[in-house]
Amino acid sequence: MITRLIGLAAIVMVVPSLAAAQTGAAAPQTGVPAPAPAAGRGAPPPANYPPYTRPVSTYVPPRTPDGQPDISGLYLAIPLPRNIETPSVPMAARGPNRANGEFSYSLNERPKLPEGAIVRPAGVDPADGKIPLKPEAMQLRKEIIANQEKIERLDGRVLCLSPGIPRSTVPAPVVGYQIFQKPGYVVIFYEQSHLYRTIPLDGRAPLDPKIQKAMGVSRGHWEGNVLVVEVTNFTNNLENNWVIGAVSATPGIPAESLATGHGIPHSDVYRVTERYTPIDANTIHYEAVINDEKVFTQPWTLAWYGFARAPKDYVPIEYACFEGNAKNLLLMTNTDISGIRVNVP
């Protein structure tokens, strides 16, 4: 029975975090200039990235039988060109770095950015590219990153929990998406951990806040050819449900540098506005505006070219994360979950 173990990816993600936590107080690593003193919020972006503007697309997709812009089909993630956040050192001075967009894929074929796309970190607003954490959220983050040997502090994705939004669109550890459209709905199947979302387009009311979902509750509408989705009602029963997490923490970067998205659980008021902009017949640009007044000092935005149409012969493969995870967790944290049984109806 195939169970694509998340093991390798998990170790890649965890070990650098440990290293980061352990070397955080040490002198700056050789070859890497010390980060400049933190600039205030709203400081101008590094000179090598122009300010983010939403892509304006002139592409008009064909229409589905019920008149939606037709973006259906199989897609692959386009690799993120940089970390989630702006690197803490200017690009020109940056040494070679395995996390510099070069994370591993389950596929040999890596989609390319569309012509003219700006290569930049995914964190595009605020202008300094850093996640605007409140001090108490930063404190919790440090505590989580410093305790990565404890299972209760591990990344939810390593535990095979559903990573929520926008994390399910961050292209790791697997990269396939299937967008379906049916009258009144857009449905997205993620190859990662067989996640899915059904997005109603009929303007229905949000659900009772007492109903929470790991992938949130989605309400969508088309603005011209752009699919806009409001996502609310996220699960927050476990602190392992992180808002984001880089594909890997950059070795040697301390928690304070904000060079990764690790260790940020969201609160009960967390909500996300997504925009899916078709750029051409094969490319969709993705933007997510993140709101959580209990965790962040202001809304912040991730944006990147998220989806490239898959090759014609591409077949999505089941990624059964949890089914093989007992051994993985035993290996990483010496925690045996194999004996745990849950009640099901």
Partner 1 sequence: MNKPVTTRGAIVAAILAIGFSVAAQAQRGTPPRPPAAPAAPAKSGYSGPRTPDRKPDLNGIWQVMNTAHWNLEAHSATEGVPAGFSVVEGGSIPYQPQALAKRNENFKDRLTADPIRKCYMPGVPRSTYMPFPFEITQTPKHIGIAYEFAHATRTIFLDGTPHMEDLDFWMGDGRGRWEGDTLVIDTVSLGGETWFDQAGNFHSDALKVTERLTPTDANHIDYEVTIEDPKVFTRPWKMHMIVYRRIEKDLELLDYECTEHVYEKLFQQKTGKP
Interface residues with partner 1 (CB under 8 A) are 1-3, 65, 72, 151-152, 159-162, 178, 180-183, 185, 187, 189, 193-196, 198, 200, 204, 207, 211-215, 217, 235, 237-238, 240, 315-318, 320, 322-323, 335, 337-338, 340-345
Residue 122: CB minimum distance to partner 1, A: 25
Residue 105 or 185: the one with the smaller Cβ distance to partner 1 is 185
Token reading at 263: 């260790």
Residue 299: CB minimum distance to partner 1, A: 26
Distances (CA, A) of 308 to 100, 103, 187, 218: 20, 17, 17, 22
Residue 57 or 178: the one with the smaller Cβ distance to partner 1 is 178
Token reading at 276: 């899916």
Report the run of H or E that residue 308 belongs to, with start and end.
strand 300-309
Residue 160: CB minimum distance to partner 1, A: 6
Residue 241: CB minimum distance to partner 1, A: 9
| CA–CA dist 342, 345 (Å, integer) | 10
Residue 169: CB minimum distance to partner 1, A: 16
Residue 139 or 237: the one with the smaller Cβ distance to partner 1 is 237
Residue 106 or 301: the one with the smaller Cβ distance to partner 1 is 106
Residue 2: CB minimum distance to partner 1, A: 5
Please report the DSSP string for 88-152 in residue order. Answer: SS-GGGPPP-TTSS----S-S----PPTTPPP--SEEESTT----B-HHHHHHHHHHHHTTTSGG
The residue assigned the tokens 């983050």 is 141
Using alpha carbons, select from 291, 196, 284, 209 the residue that is nearest to residue 243.
291
Rounded to the nearest 10 degrees, the angle between the axes of helix 135-146 and helix 7-23 is 110
Residue 17 or 162: the one with the smaller Cβ distance to partner 1 is 162
Residue 26 or 312: the one with the smaller Cβ distance to partner 1 is 312
